[in-house]
Amino acid sequence: MARRIVDPRAFERCFEEHFPAVHRLIARRVGTALADDLAAETFATAFRRRHEFDPRAGSLRAWLFGIASNLLRNHWRAEQHQLEVDSRLAADVELRQDPGLSDEQLSASLVAPQVAGALADLVAEQREVLLLHAWGELSNEEISCALGIPLGTVRSRLSRARATLRDRLGGFDFDLWVLADEQNPRRRGDTHA
């Protein structure tokens, strides 16, 4: 059952439970160095505003991600720059031949430059919603609570973001990804030139 976090011990439990997820979400967006500061600031802000959290209005996780999202808006340029750098990196050919690489690592390496480029093309508001959904694993309703925007707005931003992604990742053969995964994992995620 969701509980308020006014009591310091309740807040401690909140910190222990959610700090890793908040830190990781921030780190995936702007890097670990900046994430250390922003995650700390997120929980300092949460402590100051802990009286405002109402478990009836939404999950604690969503509330914390909302605070983190507000802080991340001040670092939009850093996020954009990192995405553009990642988009220019060629997939490491040698990486594909590394038998010690897990499937997840291989997939991430192969598709990373294209995803980075696609995310860089998104307007900030759409990217924010998409990443709360994909990385934060928040539902549309939770994103609505986290960002304080109407549910319809969440849906439209997510829909537009996914459409942009599909367009930008048009050269990526998801069917081949699946087929390759079944027949030859080392070829998984190969792109059409």
Taking CB under 8 A as the rule, which mask of x and - marks residues 145-184 in contact with another protein? Answer: -----------------x--xx--x--x-xx-xx------
Q: Which residues pair with 191 in a beta bridge?
A: 172
Q: Find the part of the chain contacting another protein (CB under 8 A) among 49-57, 67-75, 92-100, 140-148.
A: 49-57
Which own/partner pairs from 14-17 qualify as long-range (CB within 8 Å, at least 24 positions apart)? 14/46, 14/60, 14/64, 15/43
Taking CB under 8 A as the rule, which mask of x and - marks residues 68-107 in contact with another protein? Answer: ------------------------------------xx-x
* CA–CA distance, 29 with 180 (Å, rounded to integer): 29
**One residue of 17, 32, 52, 85 binding another protein per CB under 8 A:** 32
CB of 77 to another protein, least distance (A): 18
Question: Residue 70 has which token pair?
Answer: 């507000």
Residue 91 backbone dihedrals phi, psi, to 5 degrees: -60, 135
